[in-house]
Amino acid sequence: MVVRAERVLFITTSVGEVGDSRKRTGLWLGSLAEPYYLFQKKGYITEVASMRGGTAPIDPLSMEKPYNRHPMTKRFLADGEALGLLDNTSSVAYISADRYSAIFITGKVLHVHDACCTCYGLGIAVDAPYSKELQRLLSEAFAAKKVVAAVGRGVAALLSAKITDPTHPQAGMPIVYGKQVTGYSNVEEELSGHASEVPFSVEDRIEKVGGEYTRGNRNEGSYANKAGLIITGQNSASALSVAELVVEALSYGVRLTP
Domains and CATH numbers, the chain: 2-251 (3.40.50.880)
The per-residue pLDDT for 258 is 30
DSSP letters of 46-73?
Answer: EEEEESS-BPPPB-GGGGSTTGGGSHHH
The per-residue pLDDT for 199 is 73
Cis preceding-peptide flag for 169 (omega within 30 of 0)? no
The per-residue pLDDT for 120 is 45
All residues at 6 or more sequence positions from 230 whose CB lies less than 8 Å from its CB, including other chains: 142, 148, 149, 158, 175, 176, 179, 181
Cβ atoms of 59 and 120 closer than 8 Å: yes
- Rounded CA gap, 189 and 121, in Å? 12
The per-residue pLDDT for 239 is 94
The per-residue pLDDT for 252 is 47
10-residue stretch averages of pLDDT, the chain, 258 residues long: 74 77 78 96 95 92 89 96 96 96 78 38 60 94 96 91 95 97 91 72 95 93 96 93 95 43
CA dihedral of residues 72, 181, 188, 190 (deg, nearest 10): 140
The per-residue pLDDT for 121 is 43
- Name the 3-class secondary structure at 132: helix
In the chain, the N- to C-terminal Cα span, in Å, equals 5
